[in-house]
Structure 1
Amino acid sequence: MPNMEAKKVAKIMVEEVFVRLGTPRIIHSYQGRQFESELFREECRLFHIQKIRTTAYHPQSDGMVERFNRTLTSMLSAFVQENQTDWDEHIPYVMMAYRSAEHKFTQFTPNMLMLVRETTLPLDLQYEMPEHMKIETPNEWFCILQERLDRAHNVVPQHIEDAMNRQKKYHDLKMSWEKFKKGDKVFVYFPQRKVGCSPKLTSFWRGPFEVLEQWSDVLYAVNCDRKGEKQIIHCDRMRKKKEQVLNFECDAPEARDESIL
């Protein structure tokens, strides 16, 4: 895209996504201005699309996209020049290879799930199958197509669910978080680096702020916006403020009086 303006993003969503693949039920995006604009919200209302968003500074809530970007950059790194100025020219060819490779979780290629067939690759043209082996009557082709559709729609969701449960199991083994309630004073982590300041000497924790309400088991509304408005914060970025009490304040008043005398 030439830019990330709301008008350009909304136009591309219609002309490059909706008219080709149909309108989705849900759009999940990060909290960029182009996706939070009134124009994009009106577009979602027009097409009856539910708009949801990631939690700020929490890339795990967009994990599938982040993981794909990692795979894409890894593939591009094998082809770009040393000056890395031609990476965009390799994207169509790298994506051709990606779409024709079997996915680890679905156990199908993206081409098969989207087109219900494999695309013709240069290797297929070089070692082309004899024509007499390709001949199928219309009825046979229809049966094969229906079998592929049934298999994909029945098998893939189960594979994805198994993979998600496996990932969640390993992820939860390393997870531990605090529980908060309304009115708690908390510090919030903002990983924003300042120009000219060393990150080693910069404190990324701001606050204390107040927990306004609980949205889910891990999401809370906190008044940590620059204007004092609420933001939805993941518990990973929150730490409860602990009251600082001096040693003599822990003693009973009588004991404190005796120690003074």
Structure 2
Amino acid sequence: MEAMAKLVGYNHTYPTTYHPQSNGMIERFNATFIPRIAKVQDRENNNWDGFLASVVFAYNTGTHSTTGYSPYQLLFGREPRLPTDQPASTFTFRKPNDYYEQLKKNMKIIHRNARENMINKQKQYKSRYDTQRNDPHYSLNDRVLIRKHGLKNKLDAKYSATPQIVIREDHPVYIVQDESTQVETRVHVNDIRPICITRSN
């Protein structure tokens, strides 16, 4: 993966636990897909796999709020034809290659519009998210505490009892090491809290 990253020129960011924003595209798909499966399956027979094709088709033919188009339309350059639709209009092309040229034009327009819609939506999401978000940065050897997830008791401490040392930084993801056990943990910046030292006069 490191060799591929150097060849293609991308920065491989690893997701962290309990932080779905790290893998937003997949998590957003799951948030839409799983509830649909849950509604149609028979919970006693656990036959959710029998509905996969129909649920996936519904997802692929539905218009997405981010792109303004359905995945089907982005792939094929036209709306899907369903059994309930009116018969398709008839077009006559003078040359065999005319259909291909028309399809390329349609795809170019659709992809350009979808890209613009995505950029505008991302700006809206970022602006809304940034208004409610602090963005602290940490340096190597900083002593911090990290959030504990999966607590069973509401009265349990929400952060680690042992200080953690920042040993690697790739903001917003950090690698920290427990001072006592030397265990390393990958953690998102939202789950880190600085250790405040108070001095008495």
TM range (shorter): 0.7 to 0.9
Contact residue 185 and residue 210 of structure 1 kept, 8 A: yes
Unaligned runs of 5+ in 2: none
Displacement of 1:202 after TM fit? Answer: 2.6
**If each structure's helix is expressed as a fraction of its own residues, which one has the higher value?**
1
Aligned to 2:149: 191
Displacement of 1:52 after TM fit? Answer: 4.2
Count of aligned pairs between the two proteins: 194
Displacement of 1:71 after TM fit? Answer: 1.0
Amino-acid identity (%): 23
Displacement of 1:227 after TM fit? Answer: 5.7
Q: Distance in 2 between matches of 1:160 and 1:109?
A: 13
AA matched with 1:239: R
Q: Distance in 1 between matches of 2:116 and 2:180?
A: 44
Aligned to 2:53: 92
What does 1:108-147 correspond to in 2, within 5 Å?
108-124=69-85, 127-129=86-88, 133-137=89-93, 138-147=96-105
Displacement of 1:224 after TM fit? Answer: 3.8
For 1:223, what is the secondary structure of its paired residue?
strand
Aligned to 1:182: 140
Q: TM-score, normalising length from structure 2?
A: 0.81
**TM-superposition CA deviations, 1:185-241 (whole Å, max 9, x none):** 111113144xxxx4223324212111234323x333321499625444221111111
Q: TM-score, normalising length from structure 1?
A: 0.64
Aligned to 1:161: 119
Unaligned runs of 5+ in 1: 1-40, 251-261
Contact residue 176 and residue 187 of structure 2 kept, 8 A: yes
Q: Which has the higher relative contact order, 1 or 2, with Cα contacts under 8 A spaced 6 or more apart?
A: 2
Displacement of 1:56 after TM fit? Answer: 3.4
Decide whether aligned partners of structure 1 residues 62 and 224 sit closer, same or farther in structure 2, where only a CA change above 3 A counts.
farther
Q: Distance in 2 between matches of 1:93 and 1:163?
A: 28
Q: Distance in 2 between matches of 1:57 and 1:75?
A: 23
Q: Distance in 2 between matches of 1:225 and 1:114?
A: 52
* Among 142, 153, 156, the residue aligned to 1:202: 156
Contact residue 182 and residue 211 of structure 1 kept, 8 A: yes
Q: Which has the larger radius of gyration?
A: 1
* Among 229, 233, 241, the residue aligned to 2:195: 241
Q: What's the C-alpha RMSD, in Å, of the aligned pairs?
A: 2.8
Aligned to 1:73: 34
Displacement of 1:96 after TM fit? Answer: 0.6
Decide whether aligned partners of structure 1 residues 226 and 94 sit closer, same or farther in structure 2, where only a CA change above 3 A counts.
farther
* Among 169, 174, 177, the residue aligned to 1:214: 169
